[in-house]
A and B are shown apart, each in its own frame.
Chain A
Amino acid sequence: MSTSEKKPVPIPPPAPIEYAGQWVAWNKEWTEIVAHGREFADVHREAIHKGFSDPIMEHVRNPKLAFIGFL
């Protein structure tokens, strides 16, 4: 590998099943869930309050239900 070659971007892990149905806030490195809960606004505010200025929000679907589109 040459020194100018880009390093592969690591694929972030899936959100843990325990957060199904919730919003989670990841840190920018996708290594830690820094806040979670039912309401987008509350989770986003909590993450910012903890020092994560632009958290990555993700809604975790229920993995027991197959996803076949937006209903």
Chain B
Amino acid sequence: MKFKYRSVFSREPGSDDFLIFRRPEIMVSIAGPLGKATSVGLVDTGSDFTIFPKRIAEYLGVPLTESKLTSAAAFGGQELPLQEGEVVLKVTDSEDQVEWVTEVCFFDFPTSESEAIILGDSSFLDYFIATFDGEASELELQPTSEMLELCLPRQESD
């Protein structure tokens, strides 16, 4: 499965000009008891966990439990209290898709302005062989054999 990087504006260092950067951000669908939503998430090899905003869990009706870890250390040492919930994740490219049930983490971001979706090792990257092609701005995700066993059967409506 291949995904083009997402284009984003970012300020050029030392300048008032903006540049277009490309980041390995891909579309991911998340489903809970009350519904589903598709959103852009950052594929982040530096994150041990897959993290969604807690407000999305509330919107989709995902029951939350306190994370066994209770907190995670982010870049800079900041501690983040995490909760966990079971969801269905799905990634789709132009030809293929994989869908699986997994536990992800939820974080109560202090403001909606700071919210982010991070697709890290646990629940996401652990199930793929990921190739980041910076020159082509393209991410390739090849499902592992474990993922192929976990993968839900494809629905006719998909």
Give residues in A with beta carbon < 8 Å to B.
9, 11-15, 17, 21-23, 38-41, 44, 54-71
Please measure, in the bound complex, the distance between the C-alpha atom of A19 and the C-alpha atom of B44, giving whole angstroms: 23
Write out the residue numbers on chain B whose beta carbons fall within 8 Å of the beta carbon of A22.
113
Q: Number of B interface residues, CB 8 Å?
A: 39
* Interface membership of B118, Cβ < 8 A: yes
Write the chain A residue with the least CB distance to B27. A56
Assess whether B112 is in contact with A12, with CB atoms less than 8 Å apart: no
Judge whether B6 and A59 touch: CB under 8 Å: no
Q: Is the CB of B132 closer than 8 A to any CB of chain A?
A: no
Is A62 a contact partner of B113 (Cβ separation < 8 A)?
yes
At the interface, yes or no: B53 with Cβ under 8 Å from chain A? yes
Cβ of B115 and Cβ of A59 under 8 Å apart?
Answer: yes
B residues near A59, Cβ cutoff 8 Å: 39-40, 115-117
- Which one of A13, A15, A17, A58 has the highest number of Cβ atoms from chain B below 10 Å of its Cβ? A58
B20 located at the interface, meaning its Cβ lies under 8 Å from any Cβ of chain A in the complex: yes
From B7, B18, B59, B94, give the contact of A11 (CB < 8 A): B7
In the complex, what residue of chain A is closest to B93 when comparing beta carbons?
A9
Q: B37, B44, B51, B116: which has the most chain A beta carbons within 10 Å?
A: B37
In the complex the two chains form, is A66's CB within 8 Å of B76's CB?
no
- List 9 extra interface pairs beyond A17-B18, A59-B39, A61-B8, CB under 8 A: A12-B7, A14-B20, A21-B113, A41-B56, A54-B38, A56-B40, A59-B40, A65-B11, A70-B75
Q: In the complex, what distance in Å separates the CA atom of A64 from the CA atom of B36?
A: 32
B74 interfacial contact with A, CB 8 Å: yes
The answer to whether A23 touches B112, judged by C-beta atoms less than 8 angstroms apart, is yes
